[in-house]
Structure 1
């Protein structure tokens, strides 16, 4: 579980993951401002009950940077 401080591009070799998961999102209100929280849940093959696997939080600055990255990766999205 972590709050994203910075995004940077990597050049590591990568391939698609073999499993898919669900991702929940919610707004977390703090005195310093709102955060977007994304929480992934275990795959369908997980033997235990559904529970949070990983959580990421983004503040407004990080969310804006992620939006820029998404638009750069998927041209034509508005």
Structure 2
């Protein structure tokens, strides 16, 4: 389960739309005196050998969440 510390743009020839679609679940924890964390989990789709099994997890702290917010705003032109 990685804690994402920063984002770097990767210019590849193309981005392919994934065939599988899932719902991500998230948790937010902000205990006193600790770093607030947003955790995003994805689970196996109905087509997987073990549907509903935890598949991927990643975490964002305050700094990486802010960086992602800026990336999303810039790339999707949210800041007009």
- In the alignment, which residue of structure 1 is the partner of 2:75? 73
- Larger deviation, residues 50-59 vs 39-48: 39-48
Aligned residues: 78
Shift in Å, 1:48: 2.0
TM-score normalised to structure 1 length: 0.85
Once residues 58 and 3 of structure 1 are traced to their aligned partners in structure 2, the CA distance between those partners, rounded to angstroms, is: 6
Structure with the larger strand share: 1
For the residue of structure 2 that corresponds to 1:33, the secondary structure is coil
Tell me what 2:55 maps to: 53
Residue 22 of structure 1 deviates from its aligned partner by 1.4
Structure 2: how far apart are the matches of 1:76 and 1:64? Answer: 14
The answer for unaligned runs of 5 or more in structure 2 is: none
Corresponding residue for residue 39 of structure 2: 37
Aligned to 2:7: 7
Between the aligned partners of 2:29 and 2:43, the Cα distance in structure 1 is 18
Of 24-33 and 7-16, deviating more is 24-33
Structure 1 runs of 4+ aligned residues shifted over 2 Å read: 28-32
**Structure 1: gaps of 5 or more residues:** none
